């Protein structure tokens, strides 16, 4: 399908090695990697191995559409990660794609400017961001990016249907 950017598992492997090389070549090494769940979890894990970082965390971010609201803004959902280890750390935030860019913009603003509220104490960290893809319309420019595309991207982890007891019973794995 020429209307889609089709990231295969094979190509994903190459993308992650090339992103890792970008990060190492920049001379900046994170102490900790934070994945934006769920799309950033698999890219973040692969990057962690590729640059030799074991300290991993995750943040659940989703778009929330309030009743009667026309604005769509991303929000952080539970479970919240334990942020007590964050102060003074260099953090790499990883997501699959910066499309509108609002998810990454919000997380990066939170970490760098607004700060995380740790029981009355507000913590700021030095953060950079990495994505596999960036769309031209993104309001946020990630520090590290593999490719730019304006197409809808098929990621290998979400392109197939969810496996359910019903689909199994019908012989579709």
Chain positions contacting ligand 5GP, by CB under 6 A: 39, 74, 95-103, 152-153, 155, 158
Pull the structure tokens for residue 96. 């699959």
37/123 with CB nearer ligand 5GP? 37
Q: For residues 16 and 95, which CB has a smaller minimum distance to ligand 5GP in the complex?
A: 95
> For residue 106, what are its two tokens?
């919000």
CB of 88 to ligand 5GP, least distance (A): 28
Burial class (CB in 10 A: 0-12, 13-18, 19+), 82: exposed
Q: Smallest gap, in angstroms, from Cβ of residue 120 to ligand 5GP?
A: 30
| Residue 119: CB minimum distance to ligand 5GP, A | 28
Q: Which is nearer to ligand 5GP, 30 or 101 (CB)?
A: 101
Whether the ω angle into residue 79 lies within 30 degrees of 0, i.e. cis, is yes
Nearer to ligand 5GP, 115 or 156 (CB): 156
Long-range pairs of 109-116 with CB within 8 A, sequence gap ≥ 24? 110/76, 116/83, 116/86
């Amino acid at each position: 399908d020429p209307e889609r950017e089709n990231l295969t598992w094979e190509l994903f492997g190459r993308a992650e090695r090339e992103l890792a090389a970008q990060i190492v070549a920049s001379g900046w090494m994170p102490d900790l990697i934070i994945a934006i769940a769920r799309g950033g979890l698999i890219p973040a894990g692969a990057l962690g191995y590729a640059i030799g970082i074991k300290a991993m965390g995750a943040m659940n971010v989703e778009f929330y559409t309030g009743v009667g609201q026309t604005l769509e803004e991303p929000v952080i959902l539970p479970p919240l990660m334990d942020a007590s280890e964050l102060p003074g750390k260099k953090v790499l935030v990883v997501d699959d794609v910066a499309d509108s860019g609002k998810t990454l913009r919000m997380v990066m603003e939170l970490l760098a400017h607004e700060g995380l509220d740790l029981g009355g104490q507000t913590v700021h960290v030095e953060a950079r961001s990495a994505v596999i893809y960036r769309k031209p319309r993104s309001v946020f420019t990630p520090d590290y990016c593999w490719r730019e595309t304006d197409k809808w991207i098929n990621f290998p982890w979400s392109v197939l249907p969810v496996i359910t007891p019903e689909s199994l019973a019908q012989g579709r794995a």
